[in-house]
Amino acid sequence: MGPRRRRQVFTHSSWAPRREASYERLEFLGDSVLGLVVSEELMRRHPSVDEGDLSWMRQAVVARDPCAAAADAAGLPEALVAAAPPARAETARELASQATVRAALAEAVIGAAWLDLGADATRAAVLDAFASAIDVAAPGTRDPKTTLQEEAARMRIEVAYELTDTQGPPQRRVFTSRVRVGGTVMGEGTGPSKQSSEQAAAAQALAARPWSAAPC
């Protein structure tokens, strides 16, 4: 990654001289590249899985938390703080602590890699950075919310969803929801719609499954 591109990757809109000089355009590209690479890999790994399951499996991999984890592993939050103007150091530290910002940094780096390094190198880097999340994603049901509701009903446990955050411009809105199972938060997910964020949260709760699914 060249110095000019690196500077853009670690420029937040709050201190960018112009909005388009921030990492947001690279984030836009990186989001699409990440989705493409993960979609291709899931199709390769699961040749008999239908579109419904593939869609929510992809959403689980490209959601905010896996992206933020990839950013943390690569040291991107620290790089954002280091690149900030001295007068913005405190703001940068606050931003670097937010999962949404860390996830955006991961996508911005992916976008920059696509432009500077090309498709093959970017694909290899993405598959390495998201290997754990891809490994965890497994076919089961195309509708995690329905599955969670059915299991909770058998256990006579209440399931409730809560929208906790909405960010981004209208055309690229990102929703965050959490799900409570029996009053305890068991999952959180993000998505381009409230419904998709709830599906991602339900998928996370199902992956944990601390309850017994056996009928009473």
Instruction: Please check whether residues 22 and 123 belong to one and the same domain.
Output: yes
In this structure, are strands 174-181 and 184-191 parallel, antiparallel, or unpaired?
antiparallel
50 is catalytic: no
Query: Is the confidence at residue 169, as pLDDT, over 80?
Result: no
Q: CATH number of the domain at 70, please.
A: 1.10.1520.10
In a domain, 215, yes or no: no
Instruction: Please check whether residues 52 and 131 belong to one and the same domain.
Output: yes
pLDDT tens per residue, range 115-159: 999 999 999 999 999 998 898 887 765 578 888 988 888 889 999
Q: Element (H or E) spanning 2, and its range? A: none
Mean pLDDT of 21-36: 96
Give CA–CA dist 156/166, Å, rounded.
Answer: 31
Give CA–CA dist 73/27, Å, rounded.
Answer: 18
Q: What is the DSSP letter of 164?
A: E
143 is catalytic: no
| Whether the Cβ atoms of residue 25 and residue 107 lie closer than 8 Å to each other | no
Q: How confident is the model at residue 214 (pLDDT cuts 50, 70, 90)?
A: very low
Domain count across the chain: 2
- Among residues 27, 41, 107, 188, the one annotated as catalytic is 107
Instruction: Please check whether residues 131 and 30 belong to one and the same domain.
Output: yes
Tokens 């690196």 belong to: 6
Instruction: Please check whether residues 125 and 22 belong to one and the same domain.
Output: yes
Residue 52: helix, strand or coil by DSSP? helix
Q: How confident is the model at residue 211 (pLDDT cuts 50, 70, 90)?
A: low
Cβ within 8 Å of residue 135, ≥6 positions away = none
Query: Is the confidence at residue 112, as pLDDT, over 60?
Result: yes
In a domain, 214, yes or no: no
Q: Across the chain, what does the average pLDDT equal?
A: 89
Q: Residue 174 sits in which domain range?
A: 144-208
Most confident region among 47-61, 136-150, 172-186 by mean pLDDT: 172-186
Mean pLDDT of 73-86: 94
Q: CATH number of the domain at 161, please.
A: 3.30.160.20
Task: Find the range with the poorest average confidence among 59-63, 72-76, 176-180.
Answer: 59-63
Instruction: Please check whether residues 28 and 114 belong to one and the same domain.
Output: yes
Q: How confident is the model at residue 215 (pLDDT cuts 50, 70, 90)?
A: very low
Task: Find the range with the poorest average confidence among 47-56, 70-79, 165-174.
Answer: 165-174
Give CA–CA dist 109/116, Å, rounded.
Answer: 10
Instruction: Please check whether residues 78 and 164 belong to one and the same domain.
Output: no
In a domain, 96, yes or no: yes
- Among residues 24, 31, 151, 188, the one annotated as catalytic is 31
Instruction: Please check whether residues 122 and 162 belong to one and the same domain.
Output: no
Q: Which of 72, 105, 136 is the last residue of a domain?
A: 136
Query: Is the confidence at residue 193, as pLDDT, over 90?
Result: no
Cβ within 8 Å of residue 214, ≥6 positions away = 154
Instruction: Please check whether residues 39 and 81 belong to one and the same domain.
Output: yes
Mean pLDDT of 45-59: 86
Q: Which amino acid is at 209?
A: R
pLDDT recorded at residue 140: 64
Task: Find the range with the poorest average confidence among 26-40, 68-82, 126-140.
Answer: 126-140
